[in-house]
Amino acid sequence: MSNKNEEANIRCPFYLRSSAQRICCEGYIKGTCMITSFPDKKSAAIHMQTCCFLADGGHCQFARMLYDKYEKN
């Protein structure tokens, strides 16, 4: 997934990087990252399209958790 065209579509502020079957996002704890692993490239691509390509994180639970964290601060 480290395709530059796909990365140009990333709008979620918590996205850090990705590989074929993994997406790394900002961690809840400062200085960490959360890695989501998928069983195949297709599943990872679908998640990116429905979550990472959206500024609000779509239905991603990690994005919601991080938005909640920053709203509380």
Inter-residue contact 70 to 28 (CB < 8 Å): no
Q: Is the pTM of this model over 0.85?
A: yes
pLDDT digit string, tens, across residues 7-61: 899 999 999 999 999 999 999 999 999 999 999 999 999 999 999 999 999 999 9
Q: How confident is the model at residue 1 (pLDDT cuts 50, 70, 90)?
A: very low
pLDDT at 7: 85
Taking the CB of residue 2, how many other CB atoms lie within 10 A of it?
Answer: 9
* Residue 2: pLDDT over 70: no
* Residue 5: pLDDT over 60: yes
The runs of H, that is alpha helices, within 1-73 are 4-8, 41-47, 61-72
